[in-house]
Amino acid sequence: MLNTIRKGEWLEIIIQEKWDGKTVEDIFRQEWEAPKKLTHIFRMDKKVRMDGQAVNWTVPLTAGKRLEIHLFEEEEFTIPPHYQEINILYEDDHVLVLNKPPFINTHPNDNEHDIHTLLNAVAFYMQAKGEIRNTRQVHRLDRDTTGAILFAKHALAGAILDRMLEKREIKRTYLAVVHGLLRQKKGTIKEPIGRDRHHPTRRRVSVSGQTAVTHYEVVKEDKTNKLTYVKCWLETGRTHQIRVHFSHIGHPLAGDLLYGGKPIADRQALHAAKLEFLHPFSEEEIICYAAFIDDPSFFVGIDVYTL
């Protein structure tokens, strides 16, 4: 675990044994796998220091020394701040995890007119705290999907988390309610997903689509109403992935009218219940559980802490 402390606009990192002999270039490119463009900006703008002095990026580091990185400078907002109450599951100087409510988009499609999104609400929250910086979403949830969603508070954290997401090092566990009783209580749906050319937003299983893998396990059955509560976790993050996959196998999500679900709920019954990742700087394991938001809840008798 890294020993770090924020000092104003700078993050101080005590060089650990495993970094001894590595260069700053090695840290950015190998340890953090930061993009070339972002690494170049940190280098050219002298955003990295060693014990208060500009650092040579090619000189080997020594364990115990103090590496300083300029991460927390003010930026002009690219997303206009707009107030909406947010439910915080975890926060520090680098990341923010929220419990997203239903019926709100993750990000605006039009910055001028579309201001009632979660990212606008985060911008307002940051502004109210005096942190004038652009927060970056690491992944997204559909408008009607609720639950844990991860944001990065600065560009380097965003780059590291993007890479972790791409390498499947961020685990997202969802709970869904689907129509019918599944014969197989545990399994994997591996079907490529592409656009439906007959509909502007719908996706479908398509041989020419992108690889999509959904693992699932039955948590509970409601035999009276012929509904199944299913825990799902993803290897990929395709648009509408869980919704498309369960519709494809004949078990659409309850309330999901777009994919064949019945209107027994006012939205698709899908909740991002658990989010797990290693912190991009401290390397601490972060586990966030998102309580059910709907009142009354779709997910009767389910404890998110058991998922």
How many CB atoms lie under 10 A from the CB of residue 141? 23
In angstroms, rounded to a whole number, what is the distance separating the alpha carbons of residues 41 and 230? 45
The number of C-alpha atoms within 13 Å of 162 and in the hemisphere containing its C-beta is 13
Neighbouring residues of 238: CB distance < 8 A, sequence distance ≥ 6: 193, 203, 209, 210, 212, 244
What are 148's strand-pairing partners?
99
The residues assigned a catalytic role are 142
Q: β-strands 48-50, 66-70: how paired?
A: antiparallel
In angstroms, rounded to a whole number, what is the distance separating the alpha carbons of residues 49 and 206? 51
In angstroms, rounded to a whole number, what is the distance separating the alpha carbons of residues 67 and 32? 15
